[in-house]
Structure 1
Amino acid sequence: MLTQVTVPYSPGYDYGKGVDLATGSPMGHVVDGAFSGVDDAMGSISSFDIRRIHTTAELEKSLSINVEASGGCGCFSASGRFDFAQSSKIQSSSLFLLISAKVTLPFHGIDEPKLSGSAAAISSNPELFQSRYGNMFVNGVGRGGMFLAVLQMDTASSEEAQAVSMELSGSYGLFSADAKMKMESMQRHFP
């Protein structure tokens, strides 16, 4: 039975590369096969958002992370988003805006994976095989990216932060709409 594990991208991962699940370390090229996208899948999806953040917990929720998830499994427990949230130091006497842009491109995977010639040659020796190729392989890659920024405006009190937020609230939408149009334009030029 084959098990699928979804993990964040790490340098060295590529289609057909072996991976040691315990450490996340990329290993040798273990699987060959043509890769392609999913038939009839949607094209790229983009989103852009600006919102006020009141607490670190709210920032973590906006980034789709939580303290329990930061424990994770093996090396895949490290989360740049978790580190980002923890370093942001949200406080009530300042105005914090989370600016996020995300582009999701169609998933690409190996259609019919088969062992590479060098991997097949040592497949009868499990210890040697695992030391060279790990115990998993990269079958597919979810493509895209995310940009996150926290804009901090220092104020004298939480009341002043609320007043500034009320003054700016109408501007979030205009800025967001303008940025979204620019992202969509870039997306047309760079599919």
Structure 2
Amino acid sequence: MQQVRRIEYNDERIGMGSNSESGQAIGTALESFTITEDPVAPGQQVSATVTIINSHDELMKRLGMSFEAQGRYGFFSASAKAEFAESSSYNSTSTFVVARCVVKNPFRRGDNFRVKQPAQDLLNSLRFDEFKTAYGDSFVRGLQTGGEFYAVIRITSLLTSKQTELAVTLEGEMNGAIAGGKFKGKFEEANMSASTRTEYTATSFREPEGDPKYFQSLKLAN
């Protein structure tokens, strides 16, 4: 298991204990720490991409919900973003294009943590199972705030080659590599023939800027 993991935010606070198996934040074993933003961070960062995806795993990765990022899917199964991913109705017969824009503020983290006396007493008496039950085996080291926007476009055509062509055109147009209006024209042209009838569906998800998005969990030494 990784020593430091990024997990989707669910009302956690810096310093709270976290259970690596369930992903739930529980009791707080730490106190007397300070919270600051990274002094060497370059400031607000914005990244945007438009990409054709070919698998459900790739969809989850583009939404920032991959197994590698979270540790296990169960950590975010009840989140609003998970519900959005579910609503995209991913399937292997359609072609999907994902547009994403992520804004990150400087990372906020805690420093100079001190263990509370009740928690220290459990450690001193080697009652590690009781400690894990009360406080977990990790703790929330910091919070990432910012904003996120995602759009998932599903294109389904009776002709697979037309479906792929439309997806490539849309990706290029949204990335600025193809002149605007190309996709609309090709889509309308496809629907003029019964043999290339095409369906286009788009869903979007937005989380307002400034809210916490992720917490960084630090694994305690065994």
Which of residues 125, 144, 150 is equivalent to 2:152? 150
Matched, 1:78 2:97: no
Deviation at 1:147, TM superposition (A): 3.4
Deviation at 1:119, TM superposition (A): 3.1
How many residues are matched? Answer: 170
Distance verdict in 2 for CA 1:166–1:130, change over 3 Å: closer
Name the residue aligned to 1:99: 99
Name the CA distance, whole Å, in 1 between partners of 2:82 and 2:17: 27
Tell me if the contact between 2:17 and 2:138 (Cα under 8 Å) persists in the aligned partners: yes
- Secondary structure, aligned partner of 1:35: strand
Q: Where do residues 129-168 of structure 1 align in structure 2 (5 Å cutoff)?
A: 129-165=131-167, 168=170
Deviations 1:10-55 (A, max 9, x none): 42421111122233222211112111111121112112222334x2
Deviation at 1:78, TM superposition (A): 1.0
Moved more, 138-147 or 108-117: 138-147
Matched, 1:46 2:46: yes
Name the residue aligned to 2:174: 172
Distance verdict in 2 for CA 1:88–1:145, change over 3 Å: farther
Name the residue aligned to 2:205: none
Q: TM-score, structure 1 length as denominator?
A: 0.66
Name the residue aligned to 1:28: 27
Name the CA distance, whole Å, in 1 between partners of 2:165 and 2:71: 41
**AA partner of residue 141 (structure 2):** N
Distance verdict in 2 for CA 1:10–1:65, change over 3 Å: closer
Deviation at 1:165, TM superposition (A): 4.3
Deviation at 1:97, TM superposition (A): 1.8
CA RMSD of the aligned region, Å? 4.0
Structure number with the higher helix fraction is 1
Moved more, 26-35 or 80-89: 80-89
Q: TM-score, structure 2 length as denominator?
A: 0.58
**AA partner of residue 73 (structure 2):** A
Name the residue aligned to 2:108: 108
Q: What percentage of aligned pairs have identical amino acids? A: 18
- Secondary structure, aligned partner of 1:29: coil
Deviation at 1:142, TM superposition (A): 2.8
Distance verdict in 2 for CA 1:34–1:161, change over 3 Å: same
